[in-house]
Amino acid sequence: MYHFIQKLHSGWAYLALLLLLFAVINAVIGLTSKKEFTAKDRKISLFALIGTHTQLLIGLILYFVSPLGKDSFGQMSNAALRLTSLEHPLINLIAIVLITIGWSKHKKLINSEAKHKTFAIYYGLGLILILSRIPWNLWF
């Protein structure tokens, strides 16, 4: 079961990152071209939100079924263990909170430019944080 969830978490990460990147690019294009915020823009951002939340759920399950999960927690002297047991989950949780805040804030806005700006900032910060804590050596 652990190996299946690990592969699912790694595979879903590609989809979640792609959706998030697409949402950020869409928001930046919408902001710079002063485009009207449409249902298509909302759906792109919603799919990115759903993709990252699904990745979080898979990651939480993996964290608690992993044979290294409890044993590696607290071993801060080993950089690789610290990344996978503390930095990766914590920073990605913060990133997903930012993405969720961006989604919530856009619902209160009326102006299209403000909506695009909100998604560009919050989703962009979330993307940067996620990319900063990916254990790249485990991916390749």
69-122 confidence digits (pLDDT tens)? 666 666 777 777 777 778 888 999 999 999 999 999 999 999 999 999 999 999
The pair of structure tokens assigned to 49 is: 């939100």
Q: What is the pLDDT of residue 73?
A: 66
Q: What is the pLDDT of residue 49?
A: 98
Instruction: Give the 3-state secondary structure percentages of the chain, helix then strand then coil, rounded to 5.
Output: 85, 0, 15
Q: What is the pLDDT of residue 1?
A: 85
Q: What is the pLDDT of residue 88?
A: 87
pTM of the model as a whole: 0.90
Q: What is the pLDDT of residue 85?
A: 76
- Using an 8 Å Cβ cutoff, are 73 and 63 in contact? no
Distances (CA, A) of 40 to 12, 23, 49, 119, 127: 23, 11, 14, 14, 20
- Using an 8 Å Cβ cutoff, are 73 and 85 in contact? yes
d(C-alpha 31, C-alpha 28), whole Å: 5
Structure confidence by residue, pLDDT tens digits, 3-48 = 899 899 999 999 999 999 999 999 999 999 999 999 999 999 999 9
